[in-house]
Amino acid sequence: MSESVLEPAIEIAAVDFAYGPKMPTVLQGYSARVAKGSVFAILGPNGRGKTTLLKLLLGALKPLQGRIRVQGRLAFVPQLFQVSFPYRVLDMVLMGRARQIGLFSLPSKADEAAALDALDRLGLADLAERSFDELSGGQRQLIIFARALASGADILVLDEPTSALDLKNQGIVLEWIARLRDEGLTVLFTTHHPHHAHAVADDALLMFSQDDYACGPVDSVLTEVNLLRLYGISLRQVAFEHEGEELASLIPVYRGLRRTAEGL
Amino acid sequence: MTASTQTLSTDFTERPKPGDGGRLSRFPAFTRADLLILLLFVALLALMIFSLTLGRYPVPIPEIIKIVATTGFNETRPYTDKAWVVVEIVRMPRILGVTLCGIGLAMAGAAMQGVFRNPLVGPEVAGVSSGASFGGVLAIMLSWPMWGVVGLAFGFGMGALLIAFGLAKMAGKSSMLALILAGVIVGGFFGALTGMAQYVADPQTKLPSIIYWLLGSFVGLTYEKVAIVAGVTLFAGTLLLMLRWRINLLSLGEVDAQALGVNVEALRWGVVALVALLVAAQVAVSGGVGWIGLIIPHIARMLVGPEHSRLLPASALLGGIYLLAMDDIARSATAQEVPIGLLTALVGTPVFAFLFWKMQGKGWNRE
């Protein structure tokens, strides 16, 4: 599923960005295409501008140069979701309907139905009456997915969806990303885990520096050479067989850290 | 689609049992909260009628109901009709004004806590109260008539808000924290001006009325003053009520709300301006009456939950009930009337301390 075949959901064309006229450039000449119905991963070390790029996509920031075109409706799933007040889950999901609800109106029966339907689609209807702040981090993540569905969005933007979760929950979130893609949504996420991008994404953007990046199908961009450049440590592509299936993943290389027999 | 959905795991922790959390069915919170709001409304009406009976001159409840039901505001009866004078001219404006102030302050507090995403803030944070207080004091010093006190208090209250807005904008990003700091600056400035005014005021003629006004009191609330509170409260309060669901979105935080399609800046400043109107109107007619906007939303939240489309009406009604009850105590507990501002602070602070302890810092610090 590579870019040229499908219509783009998001097109980033030669974008430059800095936080102010005298501030250092964060992004320079970034271009990328996110195909409709694909999963797109953004990778880069801390402070390289992943979150800035997301804010540009969401329209919270404006590029100095270049153009960002979004075809469809975006929904954003923040990294750590904390609420100031312990809203009910259903009320949280209803907030996804903000665009459909007039400035001076309350949610209608139709909005409520859409919210419940979104919860239902993710198998979360049982949680509707629970208080959002009683839920685990992973459950909250799913509720925010439901909120995005309820909003009628077709593009989901996730900021490090797995970073606050344990291994099992990371797996569940990846599973859900694939599931949402199967429902026809475009999913774009930032991550610190190249193996997550490798597992679920079609395309990836690697942010080497403010003006140097690689963007393309996961198999051609997530190479050992690129990842060494990106993170400054070696990662190896490994292929293995698991329950009769040929699989591949990426693992970081750590060497000479454990005490060896001679060292003892 | 649903069938295949079930096969995917959602069990991040144990799967919740339906009806978990002490709730009975799918939408019980709606009906329960609606019922509570209705009960509060009835309670407020009952308290208003009861309050009309309070005072030196006894008027029995049936007589009061008859007077209220049969007398329009335009109809004047002979002033020899003592019961009519006491109910319609003496007690009624005060009760209406107090109720409206309580409604306005509590709703302002609930809205402000939502906008600032922090249950610790009150409607006074933007410096409006201090500005309005100074305006009132200035008018008293200039021996202006009553409407002058009201007008100047109102004008200075809104002026303080504009200065606070300006300072916050100057600080670069118009963040809510910047507005709170600007409110502290503006509040400090007008506080100093008020102190200066007290210092130079004539201790024989002006100072007592200044101090009494600053302590907060509804003594001598006339229909003219009520008209001011009513006009502003109906206007700003109605708009705020209409926006109440949107306040939920503001409480999510900037980036998230923006991604949901909310014009965060405009909505936020709009809500803060409406809150300032409500506060200025109250200070203008009754001086410094504090703590309503801070504690009433907490109690309302315990009753109907944090969702603002239910919280704002519940807070409004509860605020009316609370302030009216306080005013009843202020005017009838002792022979000499106690300034209500003292009472609300004396009751408000321990209640707030209790809430603080009960919440154990939950949700107090999320910026």
pLDDT tens for chain B, 367 residues long, are: 344 443 454 444 444 444 333 333 444 445 688 899 999 999 999 999 999 999 888 888 888 888 888 766 556 667 778 888 888 888 999 999 999 999 999 999 999 999 888 777 787 777 888 998 999 999 999 998 877 887 898 889 888 988 988 888 787 665 777 888 888 999 999 999 999 999 999 899 889 888 888 888 888 888 988 998 999 999 999 999 999 999 999 998 887 888 888 999 899 889 988 998 899 889 888 888 888 999 999 999 999 999 999 999 999 999 999 999 999 999 988 888 888 988 999 999 998 888 878 766 554 444 3
**Is-contact B340 B276, C-beta < 8 A?**
no
* Per-residue pLDDT, B228: 87
pLDDT (tens digit, 9 = 90+) per residue, A144-196? 989 988 998 899 999 999 887 888 888 888 998 999 999 899 999 999 999 99
**Is-contact A80 A122, C-beta < 8 A?**
no
Q: A4-8, A13-17, B24-28: which has the minimum mean pLDDT?
A: B24-28
The per-residue pLDDT of chain A, averaged, comes to: 90
> What is the identity of the amino acid at B267?
L
Cα separation, A68 vs A62, in Å, equals: 9
Q: Is residue B284 part of a domain?
A: yes
Which residues in chain A touch residue B115, judged by CB atoms under 8 angstroms apart? Answer: none
Domains delineated in chain A: 8-229 (3.40.50.300)
Cα separation, A74 vs B85, in Å, equals: 64
Strands A39-43 and A203-209: parallel
Scan for tokens 């295409």, then name that residue. A33
Total domain count, chain B? 1
Supply the range of the domain harboring residue B272: 90-353
Min Cα separation A217/chain B (Å): 27
Which residues in chain A touch residue B26, judged by CB atoms under 8 angstroms apart? Answer: 128-129
Which residues in chain B touch residue A127, judged by CB atoms under 8 angstroms apart? Answer: 16
Q: Which of residues 77-136 of B touch A (CB under 8 A)?
A: 114, 117-119
Which residues in chain A touch residue B177, judged by CB atoms under 8 angstroms apart? Answer: none
Q: Is residue B270 part of a domain?
A: yes
Min Cα separation B242/chain A (Å): 5
**Is-contact A12 A31, C-beta < 8 A?**
yes
> What is the identity of the amino acid at B26?
R
Q: Is residue B128 part of a domain?
A: yes
B261 part of contact set with chain A, CB < 8 Å: yes
Min Cα separation A81/chain B (Å): 9
Provide the pLDDT confidence category of residue A44 given band limits of 50, 70 and 90.
very high
Cα separation, B279 vs B259, in Å, equals: 32
Scan for tokens 């996804």, then name that residue. A96
pTM score, two decimals?
0.83
* Interface touch A172/B10, C-beta < 8 Å: yes
* Per-residue pLDDT, B305: 92
Q: Is residue B192 part of a domain?
A: yes
pLDDT (tens digit, 9 = 90+) per residue, A222-232? 999 999 999 99
The domain spanning residue B297 has which CATH number? 1.10.3470.10
Q: If you measure CA to CA, which chain A residue comes closest to B13? A: A136
User: What does the DSSP 8-state code read for residue A88?
Assistant: B
* Per-residue pLDDT, B16: 41
Cα separation, B342 vs B290, in Å, equals: 9
Q: Which residues in A8-35 are b (16+ Cβ under 10 Å) and which e?
A: bbbbbeebbbbeeeeeeebbbebebbbb
Q: Which of residues 291-330 of B touch A (CB under 8 A)?
A: 301, 305-307, 309
* Interface touch A107/B245, C-beta < 8 Å: yes
Burial class of residue B220, CB neighbours in 10 A (0-12, 13-18, 19+): exposed
* Interface touch B252/A101, C-beta < 8 Å: no
What pairs with residue A246 in β-bridges? A241
The interface predicted TM-score of the complex, written ipTM, equals 0.80
Mean pLDDT value across residues A91-103: 93
* Per-residue pLDDT, B73: 57
